[in-house]
Amino acid sequence: MTAPEPILVERLLVERQLAPLKFEVVAGIDGLDKLRISNTRIQKPDLALAGYLPSVKPGRLQILGESEYDFLRTFPAEEAELRLRRLMELDIPCVVSTKGTRPPKAVLAAADAAGVPLMVTPVQTSEAIEAISDFLEDVLAPRIQLHGVLVDVFSLGTLIVGDPGLGKSECALELVYRGHRLVADDTVVIRRIHHRGLLGSPHELLENYLELRGVGIIDVRKHFGMTATSPAVSLSLVIQLTKLTPEAREMEQKWREQMMERPSAWTSTEEILGVEIPKYTMVVAPGRDLAIMVETAVRKCLLAQRGIEDERGFLESVNLIAQGGDDDGNE
């Protein structure tokens, strides 16, 4: 797992995702290319303005909204300005003032002196917090790179992993032919997003590309159209491909025994960035259609999310038949 680098405050001004906030830098412009945001959480400095300065956490963007300004109006103007100046002197990367509210000139001067960017946005506080939080959670999320293929199958992010040469990319291409969407081939970037779980995407240099042995690299979007690829998908299922070996045969036998003892929609799980993901292990052998096996596994996973499990239903039917036979025998 790699921890993302903190981002410069100036990045807030150039991201298309944040363009609707229409940021205006009114003070502290010198800090735009020096100070960095390292925390995904946004802070409203209520306690700091009340005098408890340790409540402000380093690296967190500060929001001044209507409630903060209403609180400051309960003090004489000089005291309110003093409390805002103290906030600027703390280890903070920047301050965003919402609803178009411009702080007093003394506060702007304090921001300039401390080199802390102070930006004004015309949008409501709740809208600003939501937009900035989504952006920061995306760029500052813990992440890991895995070797495999990520495909959007029936809107379920399915990560196919296994040793080289087992046909992962060929399986992904067949799934694209079946109407599903390629997300990433070879290098899959997984990020842990707080409110969306695990989000998978391609490496920035490999987006839309897929490599086939003996054919070369193809641009899937150009070959199959705009709907053949997806920039990202929530990771919901892992499929491990393995060669047909004596060990694999033993594994399949253990799976059958486990199913009889503890019926479940999947045999194991994979932990990625601290999140448990359902996992199937599929043996690759001549004559096995990997694409249709993957589709079926995804269908089983979708049904399991609704509480429907084939194994459990099968065993319940078997038990009912067995109980009926015992009753006949006793009679």
Tell me whether strands 209-212 and 233-243 are parallel, antiparallel or unpaired.
Answer: unpaired
Ramachandran quadrant class, 145 (left: phi over 0; alpha: psi -120 to 50; beta: rest): beta
Closest Cα to residue 294, out of 130, 180, 214? Answer: 180
* Among 271, 12, 270, CA closest to 140: 12
Integer CA distances (angstroms), 53 to 37, 64, 249, in order: 19, 15, 63
Per the annotation, the verdict on 262 as an active-site residue is yes
Alpha-carbon dihedral of residues 70, 76, 80, 86, nearest 10 degrees? Answer: -150
> What DSSP line would sit under 173-240, residue for residue?
HHHHHTT-EEEEEEEEEEEEETTTEEEEEE-TTTTTEEEETTTEEEEHHHHH-GGGB-S-EEEEEEEE
> Distance (Å, rounded) from C-alpha 284 to C-alpha 239?
12
Given 85, 143, 168, 181, which residue is catalytic?
168
Say which of 105, 147, 178, 223 is annotated catalytic. 147
Single out the catalytic residue among 22, 262, 288, 326. Answer: 262
Residue 157 β-bridge partners: 152, 235
Would residue 16 show up in a list of annotated catalytic residues for this protein?
no
Q: At 292, is the secondary structure helix, strand, or coil? A: helix
Bridge partners (DSSP) of residue 118 are 27, 95
d(CA 122, CA 24): 9
Determine the residue type at 148.
G
Q: Which of 181, 186, 192, 300 is catalytic?
A: 186
Active site amino acids: 147, 168, 186, 262
